[in-house]
Every structure is written in C-alpha cells, then in structure tokens.
C-alpha cells in the first residue's frame, strides 16, 4: 500500500475498479489548506484518460506490472495475436487494448504490459515511430507549393496518413504513431 506522496510517472495503480497508469502528476502545496496531488491517469485496459486529484497522504493501491517484448503475428476478427520472443508462447489481445494499432506491421516488436501476479495482459505499447512503405498516394497538384501542402497516402498496413506533395508510391516514410503524423522520408 502506497500513498499519494509515492506517485510518479509510469506508476500503475488500482482506482475505481480499473488499473490506471500515471501519465502526468503535479504535487501542489497551496498557501492555505492541505497539499494535494493532481494527476492524469490512463486506463491500461481501455485507454481512457481521466483527471484526478488525491489529497496528501491518501492511500493508493499500487499494481505491480512487468513488461515483455512480443512480436506481432496477425490480426483476426476479434483482435491481435503476439508471440513471446523468449519462449515462443502466444498471447492474444483485444483490439481496444492497443492504441493506434493501424500502424502495426507483422513481425514488428511490441511491448506488452502484464500484471505481475497472474501475468494477464493489460495493454500493449507500439514503438513511438515506425517505418512503412507508401502503397498509394494522391497525385500532387502543380503550383500548390506556397504553403506546406499535404495529400492523402495509404501505407502498407492500410492506414491513411497526410504526407507532403513529393511523396510517391514506393517511398518509405517514418510515421509518429502517437498522432499518425508524417515525420520524414527514409532512403
């Protein structure tokens, strides 16, 4: 059992019958009244982000988690299948447990967060950036270069990405998986 003074970024806690990961926190000591901790919590089961304030010394239930590297195998109607790189065992995750899954490519390494007590999967984190081939891209409009003009492109995983006009089908691009934005063309 921990207290609100032990809150730090990345800590997993049990709150409102769910498991949350602390993504932001701020210890506040006002001039008048008791201190408190303002937090932003992200549910590891469904990805929902909530704001919460804990009073100083408030008891919190810390959840012990472990992270393991898994290789993404394939997707079916229900979700995603992964293989443990160490013992080749397979694990299955629901589609709701992974954010921005449209950027996952078969064979890619993913970090899966497991509850330490019974090793049930809680969530998966894909890498912050991925390299994908452009399959299809709208043609660029000549003379439309006064500003940072963008066009639609479809990458090998089927995801749509806004890219600069000079990107053509067959190019390999680097994508930020958090917001799905184009970062650069890779040679």
- Distance (Å, whole) CA 95 – CA 99: 8
With H, G, I as helix, E, B as strand and everything else as coil, classify residue 160.
Answer: strand
Indicate if 138 and 173 belong to the same structural domain.
yes
Whether 174 has a pLDDT exceeding 90, the answer reads yes
pLDDT digits (tens, 9 = 90+) for 102-146: 888 888 899 888 888 888 887 788 888 999 999 998 887 666 666
Indicate if 139 and 121 belong to the same structural domain.
no
pLDDT score for 172: 93
16 inside domain: yes
Indicate if 45 and 30 belong to the same structural domain.
yes
User: Binning pLDDT at 50, 70 and 90, where does residue 175 land?
Assistant: very high
pLDDT score for 133: 92
pLDDT digits (tens, 9 = 90+) for 81-102: 999 888 888 888 887 777 788 8
DSSP one-letter string for 34-92 = --EEEEEEEETTT--EEEEEEETT-EEEE--EEEEEEEEEEE-SSEEEEEETTT--EEE
Residue ranges making up the domain that contains 18: 11-55
Task: Say how many CA atoms lie within 13 Å of 75 toward its Cβ.
Answer: 15
151 inside domain: yes
Indicate if 121 and 133 belong to the same structural domain.
no
- The CATH number of whichever domain residue 169 belongs to comes to 2.40.50.140
Indicate if 104 and 141 belong to the same structural domain.
no
Confidence (pTM): 0.71
For the beta carbon of residue 144, count every other beta carbon within 10 angstroms.
Answer: 11
4 inside domain: no
Indicate if 113 and 72 belong to the same structural domain.
yes
The share of the chain scoring above pLDDT 70, in percent, equals 96
106 φ/ψ angles, rounded to the nearest 5 degrees: -55, 135
Per the structure, the count of domains in the chain is: 3
Q: Which of 107, 125, 143 is the last residue of a domain?
A: 125
């Amino acid at each position: 059992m921990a207290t609100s003074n032990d809150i730090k970024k990345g800590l997993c806690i049990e709150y409102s019958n769910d498991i949350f990961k602390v993504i932001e926190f701020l210890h506040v000591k006002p001039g008048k009244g008791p201190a408190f901790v303002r937090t932003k919590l992200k549910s590891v089961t469904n990805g929902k982000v909530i704001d919460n304030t804990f009073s100083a010394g408030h008891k919190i239930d810390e959840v012990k988690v472990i992270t393991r590297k898994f290789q993404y195998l394939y997707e079916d109607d229900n979700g995603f299948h992964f293989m443990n790189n160490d013992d080749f065992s397979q694990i299955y995750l629901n589609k709701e447990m992974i954010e921005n899954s449209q950027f996952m490519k078969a064979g890619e390494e993913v970090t899966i967060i497991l509850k330490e007590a019974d090793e049930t999967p809680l969530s998966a984190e894909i890498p912050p950036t991925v390299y994908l081939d452009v399959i299809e891209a709208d043609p660029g409009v000549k003379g439309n270069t006064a500003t940072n003009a963008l066009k639609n492109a479809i990458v090998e995983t089927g995801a749509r990405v806004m890219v600069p006009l000079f990107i053509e089908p067959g190019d390999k691009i680097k994508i930020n998986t958090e917001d799905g934005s184009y970062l650069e063309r890779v040679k």
